[in-house]
Structure 1
């Protein structure tokens, strides 16, 4: 608990990509909140090689506010590697992750800090409701339920990463050495005392979401394969069940043929349906196996999270 001194420092980390319509408003709202609190702070923005004016806006802000630090990536390193790199650059006694699109309300920061002051190592913001498309929100909830049932550890449903993490938590997460980390799952792995804060997620005010089907699929698969071997074992069980079913059907056909030798016909339809069914199962489980192999391949490569193009306002931090 030594980090919770009055002179402690807070780090707020925001990953952004083409968020020119949001970053200045987010900065202003965070600054307004932090001015009411007794802590020194830094607000780290990591830009994933935006094609709009995001970087120029951030540089203008950083020129007049030394609390704002900027990391500009050399290229787009994706929605997994870029945010975690910024989190590991934070120097505060507690680190707060908050997205650039204003769907994580900065006004919750005092609540997060208060719970941290009271002894929580992690303060997790859990979506109680959302102004996003109701069908999308429902589908997300169903995914979280499935992922938790498959997982070998307790996971946090409706948790997007928005929250506060003590320095001890960040040091543990960093020690994992995962080159393609699923941060939400790593937080669940840590197991230190935590507090859940329910909140209602507002809709995006400006711009469009940068998530697409692929990024959502990527996150979804990471959330499952990082914490469960159930999909692999399902393949084994499906093989046993398929073999037993095929043998039973074969015996039934044999008896029917022997009893009704002159009138019973096998027909091609059952054979074709069976072949396509087995082939589809093979492709599904081959894909699942490929996901695990791909995860292992990524671990073996051990590439850095990002390559930085430049930094702004990090001069006071020792390399």
Structure 2
């Protein structure tokens, strides 16, 4: 296994084999003719303090579920500046199930998840954060529901160990996004989920530069179900997702899955035009009963209201078209891979 540079992605490594030890008790999926492969997708940013504990729990989980499925652990390093990549390199040398990509710059949390999805090989993919606030052990329940026919199994945060202010802010944000979205988006559901390969393949068709994956996956349809759980406190390190990032993610959710902001300009323009008509009638009636009104007062008010309303209407119409053109023209890569571990150059999809 070799790590590659950004310009040359060549690898010399043996064929990767996952969970080579098998016995007669291991389950074979009749539909696949083999045991299913589950990819654990983990986006990381300066998580050196959590990697050892995370890997230990994932390895323990893989042994617990050894009779049901095979595993691979796919990490996407969002250009960490601590020892995260060095630790991932050590894990990849020790365990061929560990695969990782490192971006040339920080591309944001959602794009990091999307790039990670693109490099998984599993029949289903479970996405989990490295801070261990979401329990990896819940995969057993997710896996059983997946085998029962659900394409998306997501965790619902029944309880959070955080301040009342930020918790209220989150709930309000989820409520707003759900209400104005073009399709229902589960409330109190983050990115802790298990998704079928069909869903991953569908997600990859949307090459948005600012994805909002929980909304995108919810809008795809498929058979989905939520599982309530209590979210734990962060084990180590500090959160990289503060209030500013939370607001930015919320705005992305609004703009990606709702045309209400665009149409607000149109509705405002129509409203102002109606007010200008009412104002015209009012000033005409006022002029009849008060002919001594200052000359030009009515016309100025009417023209100002009409002009603002008409311009807002035109901006709203232009916005509707520009939004569609913008979506079609956005074609920048999701991320640029600087280095990779246990992933051949042929497998890189960015």
The normalised TM-score by structure 2 is: 0.76
CA shift for structure 1 position 240: 2.0
Give the secondary-structure state (helix, strand or coil) at the position aligned to 2:49: coil
Deviation at 1:248, TM superposition (A): 3.6
1:185 pairs with one of 205, 215, 221: 215
Mapping of residues 87-98 of structure 1, within 5 Å: 87-98=117-128
Matching residue within 236, 240, 256 for 1:210: 240
After TM superposition, the structure 1 stretch with the greater mean CA deviation from structure 2, 173-182 or 153-162, is: 173-182
Partner of 1:311: 340
1:140 maps onto 2:140 in alignment: no
Which residue of 2 is the match for residue 110 of structure 1?
A: 140
Whether the 8 Å CA contact 2:119–2:347 is kept in 1: the answer is: no
Given that 1:123 and 1:196 are in contact with CA atoms closer than 8 Å, whether structure 2 keeps it comes out as: yes
**Does structure 1 retain, via aligned residues, the 8 Å contact 2:41–2:120?**
yes
Pick the aligned partner of 1:13 from 32, 41, 52: 41
Distance change (3 Å), C-alpha of 1:195 and 1:317: farther
In 1, the alpha carbon distance for the partners of 2:30 and 2:325 equals 38
Deviations 1:153-210 (A, max 9, x none): 2222222121101111111211234343221122112211122111122222322221
2-structure distance, mates of 1:45, 1:294: 33
Deviation at 1:314, TM superposition (A): 2.4
Task: Mark the structure with the bigger radius of gyration.
Answer: 2
TM-score (norm 1): 0.83
SS in 1 for 2:121: coil
* Alignment length (residue pairs): 310
The change in CA–CA distance for 1:317 and 1:21 in structure 2 (over 3 A counts) is same
For the residues of structure 2 that align with 1:92 and 1:114, how far apart are their CA atoms? 16
SS for the counterpart of 1:92 is coil
Unpaired segments ≥5 residues, structure 1 = none
The one of 229, 235, 238 equivalent to 1:199 is: 229
In structure 2, distance between residues paired with 1:188 and 1:228: 13
Cα 1:172/1:232, change in 2 over 3 Å = same
**Distance in 1 between residues matched to 2:46 and 2:129, nearest whole Å:** 13
Where does the alignment leave 5 or more consecutive residues of structure 2 unmatched?
1-28
CA RMSD between the two structures: 3.4
Matched, 1:162 2:192: yes
Secondary structure (helix, strand or coil) at the match of 2:204 reads: helix
| CA–CA separation in structure 2 for the residues paired with 1:263 and 1:305 | 63
Q: How far 1:13 moved relative to its partner?
A: 0.5
Contact 1:17 1:48 in 2 (8 A): yes
